[in-house]
Chains A and B, each alone.
Chain A
Amino acid sequence: MNDLLPQKRKYTLSLRVALPFCILVLFILDLFLGSVHIPVGEILEIIFTGQSSKVSWTNIIWQFRMPRAITALLVGAALSVSGLQLQTLFRNPLAGPFVLGISTGASLGVALMVMAGSILGAVFSFYMNSWLIILASTIGSSLVLFLVLAASFKVRDSMTLLIIGLMFGSFTGAIVSVLQFYSNSEEIKIYLIWTMGSLGRLSWEQIIILTPIVIAGIGLSFSMIRPLNTLLLSENYALSMGVNIKKVRLIIIISTSILAGSVTAFCGPIAFVGLAVPHLTRLLINTSDHKYTLPAVAMGGIITMFICDIVSQIPNSEFVLPINAVTSLIGAPVVVWVLIRKKNINRAFGK
C-alpha cells in the first residue's frame, strides 16, 4: 500500500537495476584496468576462487587493486551521503561534507604532526606509519567537530551553524598556513601529498576498520529520511510535524563527521564528490524525496569514485594522478555542463 507516486516505478528501476548494474561493471573495470594487463576471466576467477594462473596476478588483484576499489566504494558512498544530508539541513546547494570544518580540522592534525613534529623535536618517519597520520587526522577533525557540536547547542538556526563551521574552517586553515610558512620543503611536500588524497594507501586491516564505520554512518543517515524530508519544507514546518530539530541536527552532524571524518583520516581530504554527486543524482532521479535520493546518491557517489579512480590510473600507463585532482578535473566541467543544460538547482532549492 505504498503506491503514492506514479513515477515510483521509474525510481525503483534506477535504484534497483540501473545503478547497481553500473556499480558492478565499474567495479570489475576498476580491477581490470591498471599498468599490468590481466584478463577479465582471470579477475573473476581470482574474485571467486582466490587463485589464478599467475601468482603475481593474484597478488596484484588482492593486495593492490581490490583494496583500492573497495576504498573507492566506501569513500564515494560516505562523502556523497554526508553531502546530501548537509545540503538539505542547511538548505544550501553549496554545502558539502566539509563545510563544518572537518577536512580543515583533519588537515590541522596532519600538518601539526608532519610540520610541527620537527619543531617540537618529535622524531618519526612519515612513511613508516600511516596509522599515525590517521590518528592525527582523526584528532584534528574530532576537535573541530566537538567545537561545532558545542555551537550547535547554542544556536537556534542551522544557517548560523553553517557560518560558524566555515569560520572554524578558516581559523584552522590559517594555523596550517602559519605552520607551512615555518616548515622546510620536505615537510611541506609530505603534507601536500596527503592533501591530494589517495585511494591506494589503505591496507586490508585499515579497510576492515573503515568499512563498519562507513556502514554505521550511512545507517544513521538512513534513519534520518523522515526528518530530512520535513526539512525540505522548513525548520518550523518540521517542528510542527513533531520533529526534534536539535536532535536531528545533532544526528546529522554526527553521521556526517563519522562519514567524512573517517574517510578524510584514511584517504586525505577528497574534494568535490560530496558537493557534486547530490546534484548529479538529482538529475537522474527527479525528486527531492530522501527515500529515493539517499540510496541513489550513495550509489552515484560509488560510481563517481570508480570513474575517478579509473581515470586517475591512466589506463595502460605507469602514471597515477592524485585522486583529488581527478575528482575536480573531470567532475567540475561535468557538473557545470549538466547544470547549464538543466536548471536543476533552482528547482531543488527554493521556488
Chain B
Amino acid sequence: MIPIENNDIAMILKDLSVGYASKKVVSPILEEINLKLPYGQLICFMGPNGVGKSTLLRTISGIQKPLSGQIVIDGREVNQITPEAMAKSISLVLTDQINAGNLTAREVIALGRYPYVSWNINFSKKDLKAIEKAIKLTETTSFIDRKTYELSDGQLQKVMIARALAQDTPIIILDEPTAHLDLNNRVAVINLLKKLAENTGKAILMATHELDLALQTADRLWLAGFNAPIISGIPEDLVLNGAIDKVFQLKGYDLRTGQLEKRSLGKKVNLSGQGHEYLWTKNALERNGFEIDSAAEHTVSFSLENDEITWQIEGEGIAITNTLEELVIHLNKLLKY
C-alpha cells in the first residue's frame, strides 16, 4: 500500500468520538473515527439515517465539540484555531432553512466574504474577484441578480455552493446538498462538486444518500454503519468487498448489477436480440415476473424500422405488438393457460 503523502491531507481525524454530552450522561454516536480528508477529492459520506453523519459533520466543522480525540486541520489542532480562522479553513453548505429571501443571489454569495471584511462591509478588489470566480465556477450568472425567493431549489443550492466557494476555504463540507432536488439537478450538483474538487484542489466532503450517483462520481466514500468504525475506500472496492451491502443492509437490491432483485412468478420466456432495446425489454419482462429462459416455449424478439420498434412473440403462432405494455399483456394472456 502506498501511503498518501501527508501534505496532500486537508484534515486528519484521530481517535475521534462524536455525540452529545450533558452533565450526567455522555452519549457517543460515532466512535473510533480515524480518517483522512485529502485535497482535490470529492468524498461522499454515506450511511443510513440516524447513524450520526450530521453529528460528525457538525463536529468537524467546529459547530459542535468532539467528545474525545483530535481533529487536525493543516497541522493544527482544531481547538487551537479561533472561530475567525476556522471560517477561513472550512465553509459549509447546510440543510438549514434560510431567511434571506429578500437578498439577491449575488448578495447571498457575497456573504461568503464576510470572514474577510470589516464591520462596515466594504468589499476589496480581492473580495469582488472571489465572488465573481465563485459565480463563474458554479455557472450561476444567468440568475445572479434575482432575489433568492424567486430561485428554484436547484438554483438556490448552486448559490449556496457558490457562497461556500466565495468563502475561499481549502475545505468545503456539505450536508445532503442534493436533498429535495430532481434527478437533473442532483446530477448537476454532484458533477459540479466533482469538477470543483478537480479544478480547485479543494477537499470536498458531502453527506449524501445518493448511492448510485456517489458510486459513479465520488473519489472516495466514507461509510458509516451502526456499531462499526467508519470505512473509507474508493467506491468500487467497497462494492466488491461487500462493505456497502453490510452498511446499508440492502434488501432486494443487487448492487453489483445495480438492479432490484426480480421476483419470478414461474413464467418463462425466451428473449433474443441485443443492445439497449434488449436491456429495456428484459427489464420490462423481469419486472412483470417473467424469467428469461432460452428453453422457454415462447420467444420474444424485436425489430427496428425507421426508429420504430416492434416486438413479436413466437410460439404456437406469431403476435406483433408496438409497445412493451401490449407485449406484457399479451404474454400474460398466453402463459395463463
Flag if A225 contacts B119 (CB, 8 Å): yes
A351 B103 Cβ-Cβ under 8 A: no
- Flag if B106 contacts A288 (CB, 8 Å): no
Assign chain B's interface to a size class: 35 or more
* A291 to B58 CA separation, bound complex (whole angstroms): 30
Which stretch (A2-10, A50-58, A101-109) binds chain B? A2-10
Is B63 in contact with A1, judged by CB distance below 8 angstroms? no
A95 proximal to B (CB < 8 A): no
| A288 x B90 contact (CB < 8 A) | no
Cβ contact of A2, chosen from B85, B111, B123, cutoff 8 A: B123
Query: What distance in Å separates the Cβ of B147 from its nearest Cβ neighbour in chain A?
Result: 7
Chain B residues, Cβ within 8 Å of A351: 97-98, 101, 148-149, 156
> Of A23-31, A59-67, A71-79, A342-350, which binds chain B?
A342-350
Q: What are the residues of chain B within 8 A of A42 when measuring CB–CB?
A: none
Tell me which residues across on chain B come within 8 A of A125, comparing CB atoms. Answer: none
User: Quick one: given A1-B123, A240-B61, A287-B107, are A6 and B147 in contact (CB under 8 Å)?
Assistant: no
Establish whether residues A282 and B98, one from each chain, have CB atoms under 8 Å apart when the complex forms.
no
Complex: A288 Cα to B104 Cα, angstroms: 9
Interface string of B213-235 (1 = CB under 8 A from A): 00000000000000000000000
- Contacts of B131 on A, CB cut-off 8 Å? 4
For B92, give its contact among A5, A226, A231, A237 (CB under 8 Å).
A237
- Encoded as 1 (CB less than 8 Å from any A CB) or 0, chain B from 170 to 194 comes to 0000000000000000000000000
Q: How far does the alpha carbon of A240 sit from the alpha carbon of B111 in the complex, in Å?
A: 11
Using Cβ atoms and an 8 Å threshold, which residues of chain B touch A226? 114, 117, 119, 121
**In the complex, are the beta carbons of B102 and A236 less than 8 A apart?**
no
In the bound complex, CA of A91 to CA of B90 (Å): 25
Nearest B residue to A1, CB-CB: B125
CB-based contact A5/B107 at 8 Å: yes
Asked whether, in the complex, the Cβ of B99 is within 8 Å of the Cβ of A348, the reply is yes
Chain B: minimal CB distance from A107 (Å): 31
Q: A160 within 8 Å of B by Cβ?
A: no
Interchain CB contact under 8 A, B94 and A236? yes
Q: For the complex, give the distance between the alpha carbons of A347 and B61 in Å.
A: 30
A241 to B104, CA, bound (A): 19
Which residues of B151-181 have CB atoms within 8 Å of chain A's CB atoms? 156, 167
Q: How many residues of A are counted as interface, with CB atoms below 8 angstroms from the partner's CB atoms?
A: 37
- Please tell me if A211 contacts chain B, counting CB pairs below 8 Å: no
List CB contacts (< 8 Å) of A193-245 with chain B. Answer: 223, 225-226, 229-234, 236-237, 239-244
**Judging by beta carbons under 8 Å apart, are A234 and B107 in contact?**
no
Residues on A with C-beta less than 8 A from B106 are 4-5
Whether B104 lies near A348 (C-beta < 8 A) is no
Question: Which residue from B97, B100, B111 sits with its C-beta under 8 Å from A241?
Answer: B111
Are B83 and A242 interface neighbours, CB within 8 A?
yes
A187 on the interface (CB 8 Å rule)? no
B110, closest chain A residue (CB)? A4
Question: Smallest CB–CB gap between B126 and chain A, Å?
Answer: 10
Contact of B87 with A241 in the complex, beta carbons under 8 Å: yes
A282 to B84, CA, bound (A): 31
Interface centre among B62, B88, B103 (most CB of A within 10 A): B103
Cβ-based interface call for B283 (8 A): no
C-alpha spacing A236/B103, complex, angstroms: 18
Q: Tell whether, in the assembled complex, residue B115 and residue A241 are in contact, meaning their CB atoms are under 8 Å apart.
A: yes
Q: Do A347 and B96 touch (CB < 8 A)?
A: no
Q: What residue in chain B is nearest A223 (Cβ atoms)?
A: B119
Residues of the A chain whose Cβ atoms lie less than 8 Å from the Cβ of B124: 1
For residue A225, which residues in chain B have a CB less than 8 angstroms away from its CB? 119-121
The minimal Cβ–Cβ distance linking A201 to chain B, given in whole angstroms, is: 36
Contact B101 A241, beta carbon cutoff 8 Å: no
Q: Tell whether B128 is near chain A: CB-to-CB under 8 Å.
A: yes
A349-B92 in contact (CB<8A): no
> What residues on B are CB-neighbors of A4 within 8 Å?
106-107, 110, 123, 128, 131
Q: Contacts A5-B107, A225-B119, A242-B87 given; indicate if A347 touches B114 (C-beta within 8 A).
A: no
Interface string of B26-70 (1 = CB under 8 A from A): 000000000000000000000000000000001001110000000
Contact assessment for B102 and A347 in the assembled complex, using a CB-CB cutoff below 8 Å: yes
Q: A349 contacts B99, CB within 8 Å?
A: yes
| Complex Cα–Cα for A289 and B167 (A) | 18
Residues of A322-346 whose CB lies within 8 A of B: 344, 346
B residues within 8 A CB of A229? 111, 114, 121
> Does B243 lie at the interface of the complex (its beta carbon under 8 Å from any beta carbon of A)?
no
Partner of A347, one of B63, B90, B101, B119: B101
User: Bound complex: CA of A1 vs CA of B127, how far in Å?
Assistant: 10
Smallest CB-CB separation from B107: which chain A residue? A289
Residue A312 at the B interface, CB < 8 A?
no
Cα A289 to Cα B115 with chains together (Å): 16
Inter-chain CA distance A349–B131, complex, in Å, is 25
Expressed in whole angstroms, the Cα–Cα distance for A1 and B129 within the complex equals 11
- Note all chain B residues with C-beta closer than 8 A to A130: none
Chain A residues near B94 (CB-CB < 8 A):
234, 236-237, 240
Q: How far is the CA of A241 from the CA of B112 in the complex (A)?
A: 7
Query: Quick check: is A286 within 8 A (CB to CB) of the other chain?
Result: yes
Q: How distant is the Cα of A289 from the Cα of B244 in the complex, in angstroms?
A: 46
- Shortest distance in angstroms between A226's beta carbon and chain B's nearest beta carbon? 6
How many angstroms between the C-alpha atoms of A350 and B156 in the bound complex?
13
B86 interfacial contact with A, CB 8 Å: yes
22 A–B contacts, CB within 8 A, in A order: A1-B122, A4-B107, A6-B145, A223-B119, A229-B111, A230-B114, A233-B96, A233-B111, A239-B63, A240-B94, A241-B87, A242-B114, A287-B102, A287-B103, A288-B99, A288-B100, A288-B101, A344-B102, A347-B101, A348-B101, A350-B97, A351-B156
Residues of A within 8 A of B (CB): 1-2, 4-6, 88, 91, 223, 225-226, 229-234, 236-237, 239-244, 282, 286-289, 291, 344, 346-351
17 extra interchain contacts, Cβ-Cβ under 8 A, other than A225-B120, A242-B86, A350-B101?
Answer: A2-B122, A6-B145, A226-B119, A232-B100, A233-B99, A233-B100, A234-B99, A236-B58, A237-B92, A237-B94, A241-B87, A241-B112, A286-B102, A288-B99, A291-B121, A347-B149, A348-B101
Which B residues contact A (CB, under 8 angstroms)?
58, 61-63, 82-88, 90-92, 94, 96-104, 106-108, 110-112, 114-115, 117, 119-125, 128, 131, 145, 147-149, 156, 167
